[in-house]
Structure 1
Amino acid sequence: MEITVAENSIQQQDAFQVRTLVFVEEQKVPADLEIDELENESIHFVGYEDGTPGAAARMRLVDEYAKMERICILKDFRGKHYGNDLMRAMEEEAKKRGMQKAKLNAQTQAIPFYERLGYTVVSEEFMDAGIPHKTMTKQL
């Protein structure tokens, strides 16, 4: 999978499409919570396999952290380690921008995935869009 920073409106729409399919359609997150007022200040990522978008995420630079958000892989693309590729690309972009720490709010079912990538849980469980999460951080 080729992961790229969305540099035009087509790539950004591809990222939004993947996010909508995963979060709104599959996980039943309200659409107005998924695409929000922070999109314009975010760096968007989209992953393509043979020209088809299958992965997406966004990153914001908040205080001393690269905040990794909306990380998702379409169902048909899961199990191929594309999540690893997406996270690696985001971390590399964060480092290019001078960031030394990353933070994310992980759905609790995804915590083992992020732990394998070196993230550590730093919060108690909390609800976001009706889904249990915990905050995790990593030194880049």
Structure 2
Amino acid sequence: MGVGLILITHQNLGDTLLQTAQSMLGDLPEDCESMAMSQSDDPDDIQAQARARMETLDSGAGVLVLTDMFGSTPANVASRVARGHNARVIAGVNLPMLVRVLNYRHLPLSELVNKALSGGHDGILLCDQESSDAAARSSHR
């Protein structure tokens, strides 16, 4: 019994992230899914769907909700749905965050939140040659 996971994102971003993670890690847990939102969706309808899915995904360990951008409709829907439930919402989902979450799903929800945040943060790096050269010079001082 692990923490349930739902991605609530614009368009098919959540589906694409889950498909990419699956290609990297293999099979995904059954209590892991995504919901796509478009500009034409009624937020109240999506909220009702998200609430139903979240209740299905919660096997007793809680649900982690990942969304793409703070302040956006998907994030606002996720925040409203999570209120009053054993759920946490993190905005700014990226692939490193998702992979970290999938690798540590055995942890309690509160610890999984910390893993997700560190995975998302640590997965953002400047990869151009100039930054690599500067890092090498500073480590030799």
TM-score range, shorter chain: 0.3 to 0.5
Task: Please report the TM-score for the alignment, with normalisation by the length of structure 2.
Answer: 0.34
Q: Which has the higher contact order (CA 8 A, sep 6+)?
A: 2
Structure with a larger share of its residues in helix: 2
Which of the two has higher C-alpha Rg? 2
TM-score (norm 1): 0.34
Normalized per residue, the structure richer in strand is 1
